[in-house]
Amino acid sequence: MKIQPIDNVSFNANVVVKTNDMKTFMRYLKENTDAPKGWYNSTQDLNLINKIFKAFEQHPSKEEITPDVYYINGALYNARGTLTSSKTKLTDTEPARSDSIAPILNIFRRILDPENKQSFNKLLGEEYSNIYDIWWSKNISPIWKDIQKNYRETTFFKGNYDKEFNSDFNNQTGNYWIKLWNKTV
């Protein structure tokens, strides 16, 4: 009897990269390694996203996480990153441009933020809540500062409003960005 190897089998959580939005995202990172100052540093971002993918693979959940982009018709900064598993679908609340990779970067920063621990556990399964702190410390903590710094788009608002956006994200409401918009107009 000959045993055939099985390719692409994951025994832990994994990120699906075969969606159109993820193909575009990965292609951008691979093709734009010499981006001008002020643009996304594709080489650094590609290395970082690969570390994030590996971190998910270290999580004991068997969930497949599918990143995507949701577009709000007629809105300024109308793109929001989403993450979907068999457990839930989470949509980022921070506004992003539809012509950039920011929605995907933002949603990874949002879900990996320790303030969003409950949302992370909803995505991968509440039964793994007890291992979150250990998993995060081992897999995300070493790269967290880079995620916070690199996975952030400059938009119409100045400053860091992660606490407010995290609150909206955990409640899956999108109210805070409207308050920011009204302040700037």
pTM value is 0.84
Which of the given ranges, 5-9, 97-101, 139-143, 158-162, has the highest pLDDT on average?
139-143
The strand ranges marked E within the chain are 14-15, 64-71, 79-84, 89-91
Q: Is the pLDDT of residue 39 over 70?
A: no
Summarised one tens digit per residue, pLDDT across range 83-94 is 999 999 999 988
Summarised one tens digit per residue, pLDDT across range 111-121 is 999 999 999 99
- Domain ranges (residues) in the chain: 14-184
| Residue 33, helix vs strand vs coil | coil
Length of the chain: 185
DSSP for 36-84, please give it. Answer: PTTS--HHHHHHHHHHHHHHHHTSS--PEEEEEEEE-TT-SSBEEEEEE
